[in-house]
Chains A and B, each alone.
Chain A
Amino acid sequence: MSFPWAKNYKPSHPLMVYLDEKLPLPRLIYNAIGAGYPVPRNLNYAWNFGVLAGFCLVLQIVTGVILAMHYAANAGVAFDSVEHIMRDVNWGWMLRYAHANGASAFFVVVYIHIFRGFFYSSYKAPREMIWLLGVVIFLLMMATAFMGYVLPWGQMSFWGAKVITGLFSAIPLVGTPLQQWLLGGFAPDNAALNRFFSLHFLLPFVIAAVIIMHIWALHIPGSSNPTGVEIKTESDTVPFHPYYTAKDGFGLGVFLLLYCTVLFFFPNALGHPDNYIPANPLSTPAHIVPEWYFWPFYAILRAFTSDFLFIPAKLMGVLAMFSAILVWFFLPWLDTSPVRSGHYRPLFRKFYWILVLDTLVLGYCGGSPAETKYVLISQIAATYYFLHFLVILPLVSSIEKPQPLPYSITESVLGTDALTA
């Protein structure tokens, strides 16, 4: 579906007319990201991050497919093959750093994309399906990133694989057999490395497929916007091209500047030196933490230190960690306020920023050693995290008095709207 005033694709060149009859691919592109897709005229830079996330996926697939040409997924030679990429392959150092830091960039972009969604309640009707698919993409990304981190077969790779598959051993009765099934053995070894490589190669394409559905679902109601007021007339919109191709292009330029700065000047800043030590099944590194993008969830995992009712602490931590993401699936129904944008919700807005802070605190604790004070802070922050979604959000929605909304997007931009004037 699109808006009735959306421009129609009219090929002028005979070849394009012919192509349009046989395979209307240019028409699809025109209607998806061209002049045929009307977009709210008031989108701010927070709306750049969807396109940036798509760019990151392409970046990861291109560099990843290339790395796979030189990498050997065998426990005996995997570590050496990564060093071979770094030292011998032409531009191999750059391609590997681009891929490793590309993962971090992808998560930075996606976290901003998600928190944009939180602030502007992008998950609310009629866009619930977009949101649900987005959470699925995020879960797939986490699985992909984790398995990719195992491939260099350094110390962090090995112990990451052991700890993360260990999460599944917390499940009652089937836990330990399940972990052994996942690993194809009692500890990470060749079988695990090979299946992780296979799945690490596969999942990005699954992500691409879910992204197509994510965008497909988006194009039914169209993009949301900073006012949260739905599009009423043509004057509320501009064509995606050239207005948002230009704006996204500018955002992409800024993103690339930051990304390249990290890539060329601080390529190891986000990694762990221990991963340049070959995997050793007999010695765990002193301070083992996942990559930064997992820290908030890792903090929640570690926050459970004693058995709760009849549930063992280990299982509780695992359940809480997965719940921290799964709770997002219920967001469209937990936030019952009819107003979408945080700009018009004074109380919600305060709690939103507390949640941002809370997540940062969780992230900081997750990256810190498992010492008493960090565990205590994690416990408080994790409790607040769940309170926010399960108690505060529904409560705020019912007691809050939202500020008056503009009549239309046009009015919010121009101060007046021909329809009301």
Chain B
Amino acid sequence: MADLLKAEGTITAPTDSSHDGVRRRDFINIAAVSFAGVGGIAVLVPLISQMSASADVLAESSTEIDISAIASGQAIKAVWRKQPVFVRNLTPTEIAEADAVDPKTLRDPATLEERTKKGKTNWLITMGVCTHLGCVPLGAGPGEVKGEYGGYFCPCHGSVYDTAARIRKGPAPKNLEVPPYDFSSDTVVKIG
């Protein structure tokens, strides 16, 4: 160290002994700061990841529903991922109404067939979450307003869905979402 110190006591950096313009200290500096930088970024991973869904929340992310008691024309509200799911047993009239619409004229084109399982077109299973800002639309509970298209009506901002839960009128951009589900048997549906 002493040879780096002038008599006045000011400290000078070590000289470029190989004359290639790069000092040993430059390398150490870049290596150390880069290492610390990568380490610092790596530390962010757990700090950010801790906010995503924890193991107990993920463990609750599938749910089974018994649909045997739902008569034609009735609907129930189930809960999946802490959100309402509408399970609706469509009447033949409602199916006919849905099929009568040309999908090309819709805001979010889809047919009832695409939104239900094959051979079980009468079982319309959708999220009960309005695609506008997330309110629960009316129409699944007994006596609730179904809106002018006979499906669902969201009272928050006036979005209207038809009997295939497709958006027909109002501010919502998309049809009610169809969650991933399967029929475990003719009377049991597993969602998620």
Q: How far is the CA of A418 from the CA of B8 in the complex (A)?
A: 6
For B56, the chain A residues whose CB sits under 8 A away are 84, 88
Question: Can you list 25 A-B contacts with CB-CB less than 8 angstroms, sorted by A residue number?
Answer: A62-B47, A66-B47, A69-B50, A69-B51, A70-B50, A70-B54, A84-B54, A88-B54, A88-B57, A89-B54, A90-B54, A91-B45, A91-B46, A91-B49, A94-B46, A95-B50, A235-B8, A235-B10, A249-B32, A253-B36, A413-B5, A414-B7, A416-B7, A417-B9, A418-B9
Q: Would A90 and B9 count as touching, CB distance under 8 A?
A: no
Residue of B nearest to A416 (CB): B7
Q: How far is the CA of A235 from the CA of B5 in the complex (A)?
A: 10
Chain A residues bordering chain B, tally (CB within 8 A): 27
- Chain A, 227-271, contact with B by CB distance < 8 Å: what is the 0/1 string? 000000011101000010000010001000000000000000000
Q: How far is the CA of A253 from the CA of B47 in the complex (A)?
A: 20
For B36, the chain A residues whose CB sits under 8 A away are 249, 253
Q: Are A92 and B54 CB-contacts (below 8 A) given A62-B47, A249-B36, A414-B2?
A: yes
For B2, the chain A residues whose CB sits under 8 A away are 414
Q: How far is the CA of A234 from the CA of B5 in the complex (A)?
A: 14
For A66, the chain B residues whose CB sits under 8 A away are 47, 50
Q: How far is the CA of A95 from the CA of B47 in the complex (A)?
A: 8
Q: Would A89 and B50 count as touching, CB distance under 8 A?
A: yes
- Chain B, 1-15, contact with A by CB distance < 8 Å: what is the 0/1 string? 010010111110000
Q: How far is the CA of A183 from the CA of B6 in the complex (A)?
A: 64
Does A272 have its Cβ within 8 Å of any Cβ on chain B? no
Q: How far is the CA of A407 from the CA of B149 in the complex (A)?
A: 95
Known: A69-B50, A90-B55. 10 other contacts (CB 8 A): A66-B47, A70-B54, A89-B54, A90-B50, A90-B54, A91-B49, A92-B50, A414-B9, A418-B7, A418-B9
Q: How far is the CA of A73 from the CA of B52 in the complex (A)?
A: 21
- Chain A, 383-421, contact with B by CB distance < 8 Å: what is the 0/1 string? 000000000000000000000000000100110111000
Q: How many Å from the CB of B33 to the closest CB on chain A? A: 9
Q: How far is the CA of A68 from the CA of B56 in the complex (A)?
A: 18
Q: How many Å from the CB of B186 to the closest CB on chain A? A: 36
Q: How far is the CA of A234 from the CA of B47 in the complex (A)?
A: 43
- Chain B, 25-50, contact with A by CB distance < 8 Å: what is the 0/1 string? 00000001000100000000111011
B50 contacts which of A41, A91, A235, A236 (Cβ < 8 Å)?
A: A91
Residue of A nearest to B35 (CB): A253
Q: How many Å from the CB of A70 to the closest CB on chain B? A: 8
Taking CB atoms and an 8 Å cut-off, the chain A residues in 47-75 that contact chain B are 62, 66, 69-70
Q: Would A235 and B9 count as touching, CB distance under 8 A?
A: yes
Taking CB atoms and an 8 Å cut-off, the chain A residues in 68-112 that contact chain B are 69-70, 84, 87-92, 94-95
Interface range, B side: 20 to 34
Q: How far is the CA of A87 from the CA of B57 in the complex (A)?
A: 12
Q: How far is the CA of A236 from the CA of B8 in the complex (A)?
A: 10
Residue of A nearest to B36 (CB): A249
Among B7, B9, B36, B51, the most chain A Cβ lie within 10 Å of the Cβ of B9
For A90, the chain B residues whose CB sits under 8 A away are 46, 49-50, 52, 54-55
What are the 8 closest A-B residue pairs judged by CB atoms, nearest first?
A235-B9, A91-B46, A88-B55, A88-B54, A88-B56, A90-B49, A89-B54, A410-B9
Q: How many Å from the CB of A263 to the closest CB on chain B? A: 12
For A238, the chain B residues whose CB sits under 8 A away are 11
For B7, the chain A residues whose CB sits under 8 A away are 414, 416, 418
Q: How far is the CA of A95 from the CA of B43 in the complex (A)?
A: 11
Q: How far is the CA of A92 from the CA of B54 in the complex (A)?
A: 9
Q: How many Å from the CB of A251 to the closest CB on chain B? A: 13
For A88, the chain B residues whose CB sits under 8 A away are 54-57
Q: How far is the CA of A416 from the CA of B47 in the complex (A)?
A: 52
Q: How far is the CA of A69 from the CA of B50 in the complex (A)?
A: 9
Q: How far is the CA of A238 from the CA of B6 in the complex (A)?
A: 13
Q: How far is the CA of A381 from the CA of B48 in the complex (A)?
A: 48
Q: How many Å from the CB of A242 to the closest CB on chain B? A: 8
Q: How far is the CA of A253 from the CA of B33 in the complex (A)?
A: 11
For A95, the chain B residues whose CB sits under 8 A away are 46-47, 50
Q: How far is the CA of A70 from the CA of B9 in the complex (A)?
A: 55
Q: How many Å from the CB of B1 to the closest CB on chain A? A: 9
Q: How many Å from the CB of A35 to the closest CB on chain B? A: 13
For B32, the chain A residues whose CB sits under 8 A away are 249
For A249, the chain B residues whose CB sits under 8 A away are 32, 36
Q: How far is the CA of A248 from the CA of B52 in the complex (A)?
A: 35
Q: How many Å from the CB of A238 to the closest CB on chain B? A: 6
For A414, the chain B residues whose CB sits under 8 A away are 2, 5, 7, 9
Q: How far is the CA of A69 from the CA of B46 in the complex (A)?
A: 14
Q: How far is the CA of A243 from the CA of B12 in the complex (A)?
A: 11
Q: How many Å from the CB of A143 to the closest CB on chain B? A: 26
Q: How many Å from the CB of A193 to the closest CB on chain B? A: 22
For B5, the chain A residues whose CB sits under 8 A away are 413-414
Residue of B nearest to A62 (CB): B47
Q: How far is the CA of A62 from the CA of B40 in the complex (A)?
A: 13
Residue of A nearest to B46 (CB): A91
Q: How far is the CA of A414 from the CA of B36 in the complex (A)?
A: 33
Q: How far is the CA of A416 from the CA of B6 in the complex (A)?
A: 11
Q: Would B55 and A87 count as touching, CB distance under 8 A?
A: yes
Q: How far is the CA of A87 from the CA of B59 in the complex (A)?
A: 13
Q: How far is the CA of A94 from the CA of B55 in the complex (A)?
A: 15
Q: How far is the CA of A307 from the CA of B105 in the complex (A)?
A: 94
For A235, the chain B residues whose CB sits under 8 A away are 8-10
Q: Would A236 and B9 count as touching, CB distance under 8 A?
A: yes
Q: How far is the CA of A70 from the CA of B5 in the complex (A)?
A: 54
Q: How far is the CA of A235 from the CA of B11 in the complex (A)?
A: 9
Among A66, A87, A89, A416, the most chain B Cβ lie within 10 Å of the Cβ of A89
